[in-house]
Amino acid sequence: MRNRLLPKLVVSTWSLAMLTMGGGLLGQFLAPDLVQAAELGAACVSCHEKPVASFKASFHAKIWQGKNDCQSCHAPTDKHENDPSKQNVISFNKGGGHTADELSQKCLGCHKKAAHLALWDMGAHKKNDVTCVACHDIHSPRSTVKQPTVCFNCHKDVRSDANKMSHHPIIEGKVKCSDCHNTHGTQTKHMIKADTVNLLCYKCHAEKRGPWIWEHPPVSENCVICHSPHGSRHENLMVEKVVNLCQNCHDDTQHHTTVNDGASTSHYTRTRACLECHHSIHGSANFRRSLTR
Amino acid sequence: MKKKIYSAVIVLSLAVPALAAATDENKAEVNGTVELGVRGVGTNGDKARFQEFRDAREGFIGGMQVDALKGAYHLELDALNPGADDQSFQLKGGEYGNFKYKFNYNEMTHNYGFDAITPYTGIGTQTLVRVATPTDTSTWTKFDYAVDHKSYGGELELSLHSPFYVTFGAEKREQTGLRPYSALTYRNGGTRNYVELPEPISNSTDNLNMKAGYLGESITASVSGTLSSFKNDNKYFQGNFETFTNTASDNNVVLAPDNDYYRIAGDLSWRDLPLGSTLATGLSHANLNNSFSATDVYGANTATILAATPFSGALNRTTFDGDIDYTNASIVLSSHPLDKLDTKIYYNYLERNNKSSFISYGAASALTNNAKELLSYEKNTAGIDLGYRLPNKNKLEAGYEYLKIDRSTALPAYTAAGNFYRYANPESTTDDSVYVGLKNSALDWLTAKIRYKRLERNSDLNIDGVVAPTIYTTRFDATDKTMDEWKLSFDFYPVDSLDLGVNYTYAHNDYDWNNSSRNDDKRQNVYFDATWRAAKAFSLNGFVGFEKTDIDVNHRTTLALTPDRAEKTHDDFWTYGLAANLEATDKLTLNLSWQYEKSDGAVDFTQLAATTYTNVTESDDYTKKRLEAKAIYAIDPKLKMTLGYLYEKLDYSDQGYLNYTNLVAGGGPNGDYLSGLYANPNYEANIGYVMVAYGF
């Protein structure tokens, strides 16, 4: 009953709330005291018509009307106006002559007290000279990063994995890079948002948490021993074809090591192979010792 | 249909006030887009594979995006695919420095396989009933392997223009549907056979988060807490799986138990310390626990199961209390001691302490107790990273990391003979890794990077030639090895309109002590990328990727030290793509993209003993093609029409699925009962759509 009613209740409640509150919430925006936008980029527009136009439509320009102008980020432009070279202004484009750290400091001047940037100095992005504007387009209406496209620009191996036959729904937009990674810096490896890889995976895969009566130790230790989290050419994000992967560790005289050669017709190696019987490979709550069921 | 109506109500409820605001120029600034269209779909083949994570059915499609601003207040709304099985809604906003909030509702479908069949009825319930004649596949029940995911929740952060803030978040995740499962049909002796089954999925996870923090000029600190509770409506399902041949003794499939998780943490970051330093430290404690009884997992069969083989009344306890602690402590100091030098020193301690119940129903040395499988570990990681800026825009980086993992289980009950798993005694691995890299950007048109990393792992897990090979597992990931990894990358910008990139990685793991099991693997990846802004109105993007993985494994079919065969597993993958964007006229934009993937796997055997083997030539081989074309026509500045077309084709072949039948060996006592899962994932799909977008 819960499963049938709850979604309807939630959707209905949401709709009702939005009908009543949505208008109210927006209502605070309807009061007629909007300050007209200042004439932004007056000194720059004659040469940089498009960037000024995009900046005027940007979140940055609108949210702090009158407080930010082109010079807020690009530094005073007096010298640049007389000698229009990139070196006479802070340019975020290629060949601007400023280090990544100098460019990011322009952003951190306002944003360094943000909680999510507390560990920027510790992160791999800073270490590898990734600037804020490498990901954030502050001239766009929203400065939200277009994931995963922006991430794929540098992480080409991830782009490749995410497009493979078996993949997390990253390209479908159902899992974002930032769901698992804090790109602004963490104390963890690969900037993951949890103390361990497993604890990260358990956030969505809570049914894999256990605790189990019977554990499969590599599973308990690290999911990525067996899984390639972004994608794989093998089913279920496995790092290798299941039968081969299992036999890397399980080597004995029993059926576990039935040879999967080109002539094999054994059901131990066909279809889903080992997983056809050892389905509870992540752990078992059966009092009987079993990773079968 | 009901879903589409509900969704339409939601979208309209949000769109109406937004549109109203947008029409009043004296009010807040509201921008956005409302999209509505219709889609036609034609699919041949495996629709489930084509729609694995998406609802690409024909019908109406739409979306909405609204941005509203007034002073420091802001609001963003997104509605994607309303009414579809992959719909999502997000509303977020707030006032800078004062508060912010976020609500979201998200649905996703995970389609594993459609039109599967099983020799059982009662699909979706906890009781499956075998059909009268399971060897007659025409009497089997048809069903779809698919799980619907829903998540919804919200978060509120209050800072009230102060350096302090508190955050509250709540989220619920739900899963319902049928997931692939397999069960042994003939377990208590004889040939092992299996039946593929639909596991009934109905579970939910409730998450609560709270965080309180301080954001100062130099110091950032927070304390946080997380509560997470997983509830599974189905602790088991049952059926006469073993009565294909004999009397049932254990017909329960035991599923995931409920669990509760909490985590408390404290974090501190201190900037502007001497030598340009920032110090960050964090401490957390987490616990994962549950408690369940034999009755919970065996239901009405409990008494029968506990009285029969293998328990025969010898189970030491009929309740299990799961209890795992996680402790994590870390400290990082990043500094800028010299003008051109950056340093980072770090240490991390991580412990997983499994204190769950000891379960046994036989002799300690036999396979009837869980003591050797309840994994605990401690990890100590320490390292240093250095970056030094050399003349001519060169940057040198180097680093060292020490990682020691101590694994153990609760009881030192290990005896060599007859034990399959090896965690009775503390066992450890120690990794020493160093790296050095150089980046050069002296030329405006070129950035070049090279990086080398070497890792040496020393382990006391090694068994080859050291311990009699009665221990049947060889964890290749935890034995001695050396790893060498090279990374090269070049980014070229020969002219302003052209960007070129090359990335190459070579990694080689040599498992020094593994005579049997994996003893060597090599991975090579190379990617080429190009972006050419050929004209103001025309751009081209392209990429090529090639990945090659080779794994060498030695195997034995007896417990002799000498392997009887060597396997070389080859995984080759290559892909390329091309995308063009043309602003044909002021009003017409054309997008065209093509993507191709080819996966090619094989296993080559080298005979080391008398037996000969045949190479595997088809191992997860596939080609995937995707063509997308889009024409966007601006009818006026506020109204755009998009005409789109998508073509996808997947061709898959694998030795394990050749000559696939639902009944293997004719069914019966020594047969397998397969549902059709993954048997024919090939598909070819054509999608056409037309969409109108109104911007305001």
Regions in chain B scoring below 70 on pLDDT: 1-27, 186-191, 242-250, 363-367, 409-426, 461-473, 513-515, 557-561, 666-670
The 3-state DSSP composition of chain B as helix, strand, coil percent (nearest 5) reads 10, 60, 30
For B21, which of A15, A30, A220 is closest by C-beta distance? A30
Say if CB B145 and CB B122 are below 8 A apart: no
CATH fold for domain B443-619 = Porin (2.40.160)
Per-residue pLDDT reduced to its tens digit, A141-152: 887 889 999 999
pLDDT of residue B194: 86
Residue A194 covered by a domain: yes
pLDDT band for position A8 (50/70/90)?
very low
User: Helix, strand or coil for residue B115?
Assistant: strand
pLDDT of residue B366: 63
Residue A103 CB neighbours (<10 A): 20
Give the helix/strand (H/E) hosting A238. Answer: none
Residue A163 covered by a domain: no
Sign of CA dihedral B362, B366, B367, B371: positive
Residue A129 covered by a domain: no
Between residues 258 and 317 of chain B, which touch chain A (CB distance below 8 Å)? 259, 261, 267, 269, 271, 278, 280, 282, 284, 286, 288-290, 292, 294, 297, 310-311, 315
Residue A55 covered by a domain: no
Interchain pair B259, A94: CB under 8 A: no
Residue A230 covered by a domain: yes
Between residues 28 and 67 of chain A, which touch chain B (CB distance below 8 Å)? 28-32, 34-35, 59, 62-63, 65
**Distances from the Cα of A159 to the Cα of B128, B267, B533, angstroms:** 42, 33, 22
The total number of residues shown for chain A amounts to 293
Suggest the residue from B557, B612, B664 to mutate for an interface test with chain A (most A CBs closer than 10 A): B557
pLDDT of residue B28: 76
**Ordered DSSP codes for B202-269:** EEEEEEEEEEEEEE-SSEEEEEEEEEEEEEES-SEEEE-GGGGTS--S--EEE-PPPEEEEEEEEEEE
pLDDT of residue B15: 58
User: Helix, strand or coil for residue B621?
Assistant: strand
The residue among B165, B323, B186, B306 whose CA lies nearest residue B242 is B186
pLDDT band for position A167 (50/70/90)?
very high
Identity of the amino acid at B10:
I
Interchain pair B569, A284: CB under 8 A: no
Residue B189 CB neighbours (<10 A): 8
**Distances from the Cα of B185 to the Cα of A257, B197, B251, angstroms:** 21, 11, 9
Residue B494 CB neighbours (<10 A): 10
pTM value surpassing 0.80: yes
Separation between Cα atoms, residue B165 and residue B280, nearest integer Å: 19
Contacts with A213 from chain B: Cβ below 8 Å? 320, 356-357, 359, 370
Contacts with B375 from chain A: Cβ below 8 Å? 215, 217, 220-221
Across A240-261, average pLDDT = 82
Q: What is the mean pLDDT of chain A?
A: 82
Per-residue pLDDT reduced to its tens digit, A200-229: 999 999 999 989 999 988 899 999 999 999
For chain B, the structural domain boundaries read 443-619
pLDDT of residue B4: 63
Interchain pair B183, A7: CB under 8 A: no
A58: Cα separation from own chain's centroid: 23
What torsion, rounded to 10 degrees, do the Cα atoms A242, A267, B514, B484 define?
A: -20
Per-residue pLDDT reduced to its tens digit, A183-194: 999 988 899 999
- Region label for B161, one of left (φ > 0), alpha (ψ between -120 and 50) or beta (otherwise): left
Total domains in the fold of chain A: 1
Separation between Cα atoms, residue B376 and residue A215, nearest integer Å: 11
* A259 in B contact zone (CB under 8 Å): yes
Interchain pair B71, A35: CB under 8 A: yes
The range of the structural domain enclosing residue A269 comes to 189-293
pLDDT band for position A239 (50/70/90)?
very high
Separation between Cα atoms, residue B90 and residue B102, nearest integer Å: 7
Residue A43 covered by a domain: no
DSSP state of B360: B
User: Helix, strand or coil for residue A103?
Assistant: helix
Contacts with B203 from chain A: Cβ below 8 Å? 206-207
Tokens for B457, please give them. Answer: 């792992």
Interchain pair B557, A292: CB under 8 A: no
Residue B383 CB neighbours (<10 A): 17
Task: Please provide residue B246's backbone torsions phi and psi, each rounded to the nearest 5 degrees.
Answer: -140, -175
Interchain pair B282, A187: CB under 8 A: yes
Tokens for B481, please give them. Answer: 């090895």
Task: Please provide residue B138's backbone torsions phi and psi, each rounded to the nearest 5 degrees.
Answer: -70, -15
Interchain pair A271, B269: CB under 8 A: no
Across A48-69, average pLDDT = 81
Say if CB B360 and CB B320 are below 8 A apart: no
Separation between Cα atoms, residue B119 and residue B138, nearest integer Å: 9
Per-residue pLDDT reduced to its tens digit, B122-160: 999 998 888 888 888 999 999 999 999 999 999 999 998
ipTM: 0.92
For A225, which of B76, B182, B477 is closest by C-beta distance? B477
Q: Which residues, including other chains, have CB under 8 Å from residue A20's CB and lie 6 or more apart?
A: none
B252-254 sheet: strands from edge to edge: B120-121, B127-130, B236-239, B252-254
Contacts with B220 from chain A: Cβ below 8 Å? 113, 115, 118
User: Omega into A32 within 30° of 0, i.e. cis?
Assistant: no
Separation between Cα atoms, residue B292 and residue A285, nearest integer Å: 9
The residue among A81, A149, A93, A249 whose CA lies nearest residue B543 is A149
Residue A260 covered by a domain: yes
Contacts with B575 from chain A: Cβ below 8 Å? 160, 163
Interchain pair A63, B476: CB under 8 A: no
